[in-house]
A and B are shown apart, each in its own frame.
Chain A
Amino acid sequence: MKWATRPGVHVDRAACAWLIRRFVDHDAEFVFPADLAAIPPDATPFDVRGAALGHHLGRCSFETALASFGLTDDPALEEIGHIIHEADLADERYDAPAAAGLDILIRGLTLTSRSDHDTLKITDRLFDGLYEHTRRQLITGRPPA
C-alpha cells in the first residue's frame, strides 16, 4: 500500500511510518509530496491536516494511529505513544523523560539526512530499539541494563 505524509519528517511522522511498516503493512511505500493536493489518490495520508490519521482531540498522529489500527492492547506501544506525544506536543500530559532526547535526535537527523527515506531508515531502527527496550521494561518492571 501507499502512504503519504509531509516531507521533512519529524518524530510523529517517523513514528507513524515505523508503526505502519512494522505492524500494519510490511511492504508499505511512503511518499512525501510537498503539496497536500499532490497526494496520490491511492495513498493513505497520515500526520497531515484533515487526515483521519492526524492530530485529533489532543492526541498526536501516532496515538490516533494506534487506536485506528486496533493496536491499543500493546502496553509497549501505548508507552511509546506517550513518548511521541510529549516529543511532538510537549504539553506535559504524560511523564515521558525520553521525549526531549528523541525530539532533538530526530530533528538533528532530519537536518543531515539526504532524503526522508534516508531518515526513516535510521528512525525505523531507533523505534525498533525503543520498542524492545520499552517491552522489556514492562516485563521486568525495571529499565533493561
Chain B
Amino acid sequence: MSQTDDWVLLAYRLPRVPSTPRSAVWRKLKRLGVAQLGDGLVALPADARTREQLEWVAEDVTDHGGEATLWLGRPLDANARSAVVSRMTAAVAAEYEAVAAEAAAARTADPGARHRVAARLRRELHRIQGRDFFRCPQFDAARRAVETLAATNPAGIPA
C-alpha cells in the first residue's frame, strides 16, 4: 500500500450486450483483486503497477465500445476505508485458507499426486499474493501447508 493512502479508481461502463466482454473485464478485475465501490466503480491501492493494470483494463473497456476513466483518490471516511480493506482482506484470506485445506487434504495421496498438487498450489499462492495488498496473515499458514505437502515422504509424514 502507498504511504499516502492513495487509491486508483476505475469508473467504467460497458454495453450489457454482448455479455462476453463484460464478463472478461470483470474476470480481469477479480484477478487483480479490486474492491468494488459501486456499480461500475472499482478501486485498488495505488502504486505504479496497479495504476498500469487498471489503465489497461480501461483500454479494454474502450476497445469494446465502453467508457472508462481513471481517478486517483483518497478515502475521507476512515470507517468506510477499513470496511473496504476488511472485505478485500477477507476475500484473500478465504483463498489462502482454501489452499491450506487442499494441501492438508492431499498429504495422504500418492507421491506423484502430492507433487503435482504442491506444484499447482505454489502457483496458486503466487497468484493470490498478487492481489494481497494488506499482507494477509493467512498467507504464512497456507505457504507452510504447501511446503509441508511438498516435503511429505511416502508414509504421509512430513520429512
Q: Which residues of B contact A57 (CB under 8 A)?
A: 60, 63
CA distance A58 to B28 in the complex (A): 10
CA distance A56 to B60 in the complex (A): 7
Taking the complex as formed, is A98 at the interface, i.e. its CB lies under 8 A from any CB of chain B?
no
Residue of B nearest to A56 (CB): B63
Q: Which B residues between 124 and 145 are near A, CB-CB below 8 angstroms?
A: 126-127, 130
Q: Mark A1-29, 1 if CB is under 8 A from B, else 0.
A: 00000001010000000000000000000
Taking the complex as formed, is A133 at the interface, i.e. its CB lies under 8 A from any CB of chain B?
no
Using a Cβ–Cβ cut-off of 8 Å, how many residues does chain B contribute to the interface with A?
A: 14
Q: Are B31 and A58 in contact (CB under 8 A)?
A: no
Residue of A nearest to B126 (CB): A100
Q: Which residues of A contact B28 (CB under 8 A)?
A: 91
CA distance A56 to B64 in the complex (A): 10
Pick out which of these stretches binds chain A: B34-42, B51-59, B107-115: B51-59
Taking the complex as formed, is A90 at the interface, i.e. its CB lies under 8 A from any CB of chain B?
yes
Q: Are B31 and A91 in contact (CB under 8 A)?
A: yes
Q: Are B48 and A55 in contact (CB under 8 A)?
A: no
Give the residue of B58, B60, B126 whose beta carbon is less than 8 angstroms from that of A58: B60
Q: Which A residues between 85 and 108 are near B, CB-CB below 8 angstroms?
A: 89-91, 100
Q: Which residues of B contact A8 (CB under 8 A)?
A: 48
Other CB < 8 Å A-B pairs besides A55-B56, A89-B56, 15 of them? A10-B52, A49-B56, A49-B58, A49-B59, A50-B59, A54-B59, A55-B59, A55-B60, A56-B63, A57-B60, A58-B24, A90-B127, A90-B130, A91-B28, A91-B31
CA distance A49 to B60 in the complex (A): 10
Using a Cβ–Cβ cut-off of 8 Å, how many residues does chain A contribute to the interface with B?
A: 13
Q: Are B59 and A56 in contact (CB under 8 A)?
A: yes
Min CB distance A7 to B, Å, is 10
CA distance A90 to B63 in the complex (A): 20
Q: Which residues of B contact A49 (CB under 8 A)?
A: 55-56, 58-59
Q: Mark A69-89, 1 if CB is under 8 A from B, else 0.
A: 000000000000000000001
Q: Which B residues between 49 and 77 are near A, CB-CB below 8 angstroms?
A: 52, 55-56, 58-60, 63
Q: Which residues of B contact A100 (CB under 8 A)?
A: 126
CA distance A64 to B99 in the complex (A): 36
CA distance A41 to B29 in the complex (A): 34
Residue of A nearest to B58 (CB): A49
Q: Which residues of A contact B56 (CB under 8 A)?
A: 49, 55, 89
Q: Which residues of A contact B59 (CB under 8 A)?
A: 49-50, 54-56
Q: Which residues of B contact A56 (CB under 8 A)?
A: 59, 63
Q: Which residues of A contact B48 (CB under 8 A)?
A: 8
